[in-house]
Amino acid sequence: MCGIVGYIGNRSASNVLISGLKRMEYRGYDSAGIAVLENGEIQTVKKKGKVSELESQFNADAFSANLGIAHTRWATHGFPNDVNAHPHSDNSGKISIVHNGIIENYNILKQKLLSEGCKFKSETDSEVLAAFIGMLYHKVNNLEEAVRLALSEVNGTFGIIVMCKDTPQKLIAARRGSPVVIGIGHDNEYIVASDAAAIIQYTKNVIYLSDNEMAIINGTGINTKTIDNKATHNNVYEIEFDLSQIEKSGFPHFMLKEIFEQPETIQDAFRGRLLVDEGNVKVGGLRSVAEKIRAAKRIIITACGTSWHAGLVAEYIIEQLAQVPVEVEYASEFRYRNPVISEDDILFSISQSGETADTLAAVVEAKRKGAVALGIVNAVGSQIARETEAGIYIHAGPEIGVASTKAFTSQIMTLTLFALYLGRMKNLSFSDGKQLAEEIIKLPGKIQQILDQADKIKEIAKQYAQAKNFLYLGRGVNYPVALEGALKLKEISYIHAEGYPAAEMKHGPIALIDKNMPVVFIATKDEIYDKIINNIEVVKAREGKIIAVATEGDENIKQYANHVIYIPETKPILTPILSVIPLQLLAYYIAVELKCDVDQPRNLAKSVTVE
Ligand code: M6R
């Protein structure tokens, strides 16, 4: 949710920290702050608003410090304001911390600290943790032991970095439930962050802390151990992406760049996996669980938001190709409803970030009940990827725009590969498998054809940008695409939008339709095309404005729709990968027309690491 970064080395800490904050700003952007150890004193600047606001108060070049920490916030406890912004210090002012996560027992700790004379400036749980560490430091006179003892008593989640003016050569980092990555540079330089994006400019070598693990970085090296004081060992990994992948590369927004990357990201999802001549799929990540997959009697998919929509699409595809029952559920509901799970179940958790708290909790719950837990994850080495027994990375590369786009299509692509793999283990014929594989490899070119119509979609967007509401309707495998189209629009333009199965409209939403209501239909050619035309006629009869996403060559639809956006023909179960692209562009251009902050929409954050 929040972004934390810490630096120790020979460079100017303030410059590394500010650039790290900018690269992680998509994680949270309601306030930001920095603390550096300058001439033996901790200098702290905190500001409500974006990192640019902080920069207006903090001239990084004016500081020569080699040690510091910084934070970009998505508020949980207390309003976004200067005081609640991080870093937070203890009562002595010697210790400063940045924290990502939630300290659930902060109130109990706060009462205890108040009774011992502590004072608090902010409303945050994080300041309580800082004060607690400070109080213990006063008693044990050892920073790492104070941090360790404090974290042993904390309930909740944390990724933290701690510095202390008494130990100018030391940073301490720890995690539980919130990611911490440590970049290892040259000459004992270390960059600690919640995201590799803040690190890659300086080094590609990283270690990932595990839950309940802490790192003591003392300027000559790094030691890791568990919070209950057992030494640990961490392998060094190489970050898989390049700096260019986390830059806008000439696009006005990350979201547009990521929409336009989809021909490549789809290819990256099936490259090396799709065996066209065999009509089959090879998935290295599932090799160790192949027999369990073959024996599975049911597949459960859990996810949140856009990833949940990808799961709904996958339900249609897996059931059609493999004839295995699939259930899709919001992870937040799944984790709390005592679900019936058996050892014959496979649980897929889908997550772009690999950090989403509810999805992670669903994995833990399913594992506890004996299911085989698998991941469909984008962020390599993330917590969900590590917590699941096996899985498939979607290889979409870093997604920075808060509204998920390329991850959605890559999630569907990856799950389609899984469905083909499972289908071929079961009754799907060689020729059906081969035909599908031959269609899959044409998808990147077809996506490009849709992207080439961006200007036309921009024009439609301009005409409807002032609408107060939108309806999105689709049927079958395109019903979840309607949900996704509506979510994209509301996330970034703040226009109220609803997605429905088209036939459900007559059971209520039809009451909303009048001449001011734009209705986006996904009306591609498939076995229920005639039914969706009936639904379109019903809207037209009530003067609703119809924007249809239709199959190339369908002239018939023009008589019903006010606007038609054509997508190339493909196999019906593959259409979501194409039909969602015009909806992503429509949402994007409407938000731009309304001058909304497309990449960092209000109240949102890229990964939701709180319940
Ligand atoms: O990282 P995840 O895929 O687990 O995230 C799930 C949702 O939080 C995410 O898809 C969210 O709905 C996006 N803002 C959608 O654009």
Tell me, what DSSP letter sits at residue 107? H
| Sign of CA pseudo-dihedral 427, 431, 437, 442 | negative
d(CA 289, CA 398) in angstroms, rounded, equals 27
Q: What confidence score (pLDDT) does residue 551 get? A: 98
Is residue 411 in contact with ligand 1, taking CB distance under 6 Å?
no
Q: Which is the catalytic residue, given 50, 257, 406, 606?
A: 606
Q: What is the mean pLDDT of residues 189-208?
A: 95
Cα dihedral 341→344→347→348 (10° resolution): -160
Q: What is the pLDDT of residues 370-383, one digit of tens each?
A: 999 999 999 988 88
Is residue 404 in contact with ligand 1, taking CB distance under 6 Å?
yes
Q: What confidence score (pLDDT) does residue 241 get? A: 87
Is residue 16 in contact with ligand 1, taking CB distance under 6 Å?
no
**Ligand 1 atom closest to residue 488's alpha carbon, by position in its atom list:** 16
Pocket test for ligand 1, best of 74, 259, 353 (most atoms within 8 A of CB): 353
Is residue 356 in contact with ligand 1, taking CB distance under 6 Å?
yes
Q: What confidence score (pLDDT) does residue 163 get? A: 98
What is the residue type of 520?
V
Is residue 302 in contact with ligand 1, taking CB distance under 6 Å?
no
Q: What is the pLDDT of residues 323-354, one digit of tens each?
A: 999 999 999 999 888 889 988 999 999 999 99
DSSP sequence for 569-586: ---GGGHHHHHHHHHHHH
Tell me, what DSSP letter sits at residue 525? S
Residue nearest to atom 16 of ligand 1 (CA): 403
Other CB atoms within a 10 A radius of the CB of residue 456 amount to 15
Within 350-451, where are the H helices?
Answer: 357-368, 383-387, 406-425, 430-440, 443-451
Residue 553 has pLDDT above 90, yes or no: yes
d(CA 80, CA 39) in angstroms, rounded, equals 30
Residue 243 has pLDDT above 90, yes or no: no
Is residue 353 in contact with ligand 1, taking CB distance under 6 Å?
yes
Q: Record the tokens describing residue 136, joined without a space.
A: 């213990």
Higher pLDDT, 28 or 287: 287
Q: What confidence score (pLDDT) does residue 286 get? A: 94
* Partners of residue 280 on adjacent β-strands: 275
Residue 219 has pLDDT above 90, yes or no: no
d(CA 91, CA 152) in angstroms, rounded, equals 20
**Ligand 1 atom closest to residue 405's alpha carbon, by position in its atom list:** 16
Task: Give Cα 10 to chain centroid, integer Å.
Answer: 33
Residue nearest to atom 11 of ligand 1 (CA): 305
Q: What confidence score (pLDDT) does residue 609 get? A: 76
Residue 503 φ then ψ, to 5°: -70, -15
With 0-12 / 13-18 / 19 or more C-beta atoms within 10 angstroms meaning exposed / middle / buried, residue 362 is buried
Task: Using DSSP, state whether 132 is helix, strand or coil.
Answer: helix
Task: Give Cα 425 to chain centroid, integer Å.
Answer: 32
Tell me, what DSSP letter sits at residue 427? T
Q: Which is the catalytic residue, given 2, 118, 164, 596?
A: 2
Residue 103 confidence class, pLDDT cut points 50, 70, 90: very high
Residue nearest to atom 14 of ligand 1 (CA): 403
Q: What confidence score (pLDDT) does residue 182 get? A: 97
Residue 288 φ then ψ, to 5°: -70, -15
CA–centroid distance, 353 to ligand 1, in Å, is 8
d(CA 447, CA 218) in angstroms, rounded, equals 50
d(CA 255, CA 261) in angstroms, rounded, equals 10
Q: What confidence score (pLDDT) does residue 499 get? A: 97
Is residue 351 in contact with ligand 1, taking CB distance under 6 Å?
yes
Residue 478 has pLDDT above 80, yes or no: yes
Other CB atoms within a 10 A radius of the CB of residue 228 amount to 9
Q: What confidence score (pLDDT) does residue 113 get? A: 96
Q: Is 490 part of the annotated catalytic residue set? A: no
With beta carbons less than 8 A apart as the criterion, state whether 493 and 594 touch: yes
Pocket test for ligand 1, best of 308, 328, 356 (most atoms within 8 A of CB): 356
Residue 539 confidence class, pLDDT cut points 50, 70, 90: very high
Residue nearest to atom 9 of ligand 1 (CA): 305
Q: Is 2 part of the annotated catalytic residue set? A: yes
Report the 3 state secondary structure along 387-406. Answer: HCCEEEECCCCCCCCCCCCH
With beta carbons less than 8 A apart as the criterion, state whether 341 and 370 touch: yes
